[in-house]
Amino acid sequence: MLEIEKVKERLSQLDEPEARSLLLIIYARLDTTINGTGGDEVFKETAMDLFDIFKRLPSKQLPKSD
């Protein structure tokens, strides 16, 4: 399975409060990066950090039906 498919599957498993929290974290990082004075290195670091957030989303195991 492609990495983007794995991320898509994990995102679909988030409930509304989890999704809102994730969006707030992303917004906060972007706001700090855009309005800060860190330059290109901070842009790159932020992009990598946000990418890693998606890669580290946990996969919720659905209960097995017998």
The whole-number pLDDT of residue 60 equals: 78
Task: Tell me how far apart the alpha carbons of residues 19 and 5 are, in angstroms, rounded to a whole number.
Answer: 17
Query: Amino acid identity of 64?
Result: K
Task: Tell me how far apart the alpha carbons of residues 50 and 45 are, in angstroms, rounded to a whole number.
Answer: 9
Task: Tell me how far apart the alpha carbons of residues 31 and 11 are, in angstroms, rounded to a whole number.
Answer: 22
**pLDDT per position in the chain (66 positions), as tens?**
798 999 999 999 999 999 999 999 999 999 999 999 889 999 999 999 999 999 999 887 765 655
The whole-number pLDDT of residue 59 equals: 85
